[in-house]
Amino acid sequence: MPLATPAPHIIVPNFLTTEEHASLLRWTLENQASFVPARVFTGIDEDRRRALVLPDIGPFKMPFAAAAAKQYRSWVAQMGLPPFDLAGVELELAAHNDGAHFHRHLDTQTVMGGDGSHRALSAVYYFHREPKRFTGGQLRIYPQGSHDDEVFATVEPMQNTLAVFPSWAAHQVMRVECPSQDFADSRFAVNCWLHVRTRPTTESPKQ
């Protein structure tokens, strides 16, 4: 029997321009008070997921979603995945400070779209303040359908990079160590989920 290999994934370097990256970091720090504890499908459970999140990324929502929508077909092709028509883009800003983590999970288990769609592709954009004052926080991606914790690919949370992988791929965020415990020193990420439609819309046809 062939050995299992991690699910397909790609890294997109320099996803944002230098100016966009700086603006996003500045806006994130200015909106610290709006972050709330992250939830999983059962509610707040820090044994499974510990992070602070902000579901609305303000002025960055439309440009970020547009960039993902423009490039996703290329990402799908590079990973050898079946093409799909995009039904929508879901975004979340996350801050991982000292002790933050997210146990192994599937993004398709976390939420279903209320509009007859579900997550097909996951992307994580990494950014942080310089100099970097945290360690850990790596993304681990596991083989499809395997429960083996010994086989995985590791993605480092590198500045201004985007990691892309199928939403059905099991993955986890390793524990973050941030000695200062200062919010500004967190491992920041924009979590992006691209949805595929699973049933026809009920909207009336346009006249």
pLDDT at 198 (0 to 100): 78
pLDDT at 115 (0 to 100): 62
Q: Tally the domains of the chain.
A: 1
Domain encompassing residue 148: 1-30+50-160+191-199
Assess whether pLDDT exceeds 80 at residue 58.
Answer: yes
Report if residue 99 sits inside a domain.
yes
Contacts of 41 (CB under 8 A, 6+ apart): 109, 110, 111
Report if residue 25 sits inside a domain.
yes
Q: pTM of the entire structure?
A: 0.92
Contacts of 37 (CB under 8 A, 6+ apart): 44, 46, 51, 52, 53
DSSP codes, 50-68: E-EEES--GGGHHHHHHHH
The label of the residue with tokens 């079946």 reads 82
- Kindly report the CATH number assigned to the domain that includes residue 148: 2.60.120
Write the pLDDT tens digit of every residue in 120-156.
999 999 999 999 999 999 999 999 887 888 999 999 9
What percentage of the chain carries pLDDT values higher than 90? 83
Write the pLDDT tens digit of every residue in 23-34.
999 999 999 999
Report if residue 175 sits inside a domain.
no
Assess whether pLDDT exceeds 90 at residue 162.
Answer: yes
Report if residue 79 sits inside a domain.
yes
